[in-house]
Structure 1
């Protein structure tokens, strides 16, 4: 069964389910294409398998993760992402907005950690980039920008995952955040 490209979360309760740091670690691994048991997720998140199972079931309730086909050992219950990517809408009210802010903050910190972990003599180090821009766009132009940038990321995804990619490839972290600043113009 082919996975859908992107799971878009708009329900504030589903978005709040993402706010826990351990859940974000698990989501990040599962959305990279890995299929992991609760025990493997627990090791990554620094939790007990029991606590991790609780978090996985909570994420499953909102469709954020799903059970993979069971292994030959019935006790192992592997989990996977139901889509290739996850998008969080901030239009879901106050709680959803706060959860989104927490996720953005945690993702920015994780990208910084990855940059710090990159060896100074790494031959790919010169490919690390930050492109921060301040643009003056209409609402329609901002929607178009978001759509085009998402399409570029999807085009380079090529169905590759942590468990299925060519030998010459390397995991590349990207973080796309679009945030309007200043006061909204008055409608005329």
Structure 2
């Protein structure tokens, strides 16, 4: 991810697990009431209302056009991507908030992948065949890594669930997830040699 969020209060507000789940639900399935998002987040409708108001306070969600008789308040995501990146000039509180939010993003992404892996055997052969969990090491400079990220984003853009109308997608289309992580590899700390000779103890 690149530059974007810089308000520590907004980032701390977004890092709450229930709020990330609510934001994901609204982004993928469209506008919803507090009661509708409460179920996916495993919280009460009143708690969901509070979280939605907090998300609205920091500009992540907003009121959606009413449906039916208009008695229920509907919420939708703000049509702007959420980006975040640690910058050299960040103050300590900003840097800490950014790292906390990115860790929260990673936890949610890991949980989504874990759920998919746990269910993969229940999927049809068609979906099992296209499910991928891959990890690759590449050799590139910073400029090449930036270009690679731009290329990946352009490739994915036409399929983004929040922007692709269900009617425009093929009949068998369903929500899938792409997780992309580009980062310079940090050196793994040396574990050192064992302090005990286990063979000698036998």
Whether TM exceeds 0.5 here: the answer is: yes
The whole-number CA distance in structure 2 between the counterparts of 1:44 and 1:161 is 22
Q: What is the aligned partner in structure 1 of residue 192 from structure 2?
A: none
Q: What is the aligned partner in structure 2 of residue 53 from structure 1?
A: 49
Q: What is the aligned partner in structure 2 of residue 88 from structure 1?
A: 84
The structure whose RCO (Cα within 8 Å, separation 6+) is larger is 1
Residue 133, structure 1, aligned to residue 126, structure 2: no
Aligned residues: 176
User: By how many angstroms is 1:163 displaced?
Assistant: 8.4
The whole-number CA distance in structure 2 between the counterparts of 1:47 and 1:162 is 28
* 2:145 pairs with one of 118, 128, 142: 142
Contact 1:31–1:80, Cα closer than 8 Å, also in 2: yes
Residue 12, structure 1, aligned to residue 8, structure 2: yes
Higher radius of gyration, 1 or 2: 2
User: Structure 2: which 5+ runs fail to align?
Assistant: 88-93, 188-202
Contact 1:33–1:162, Cα closer than 8 Å, also in 2: no
Larger strand proportion, structure 1 or 2?
1
Distance 1:121 1:144, change over 3 A: closer
Larger helix proportion, structure 1 or 2?
2
User: Structure 1: which 5+ runs fail to align?
Assistant: 1-7, 184-188
TM-score, with length taken from structure 2: 0.76
The whole-number CA distance in structure 2 between the counterparts of 1:107 and 1:114 is 11
**Equivalent residues in 2 for 1:1-188, closer than 5 Å:** 8-83=4-79, 85-91=81-87, 92-120=94-122, 122-123=124-125, 124-157=127-160, 159-160=163-164, 165-182=169-186
Contact 1:32–1:162, Cα closer than 8 Å, also in 2: no
Contact 2:158–2:164, Cα closer than 8 Å, also in 1: no
Contact 1:33–1:81, Cα closer than 8 Å, also in 2: no
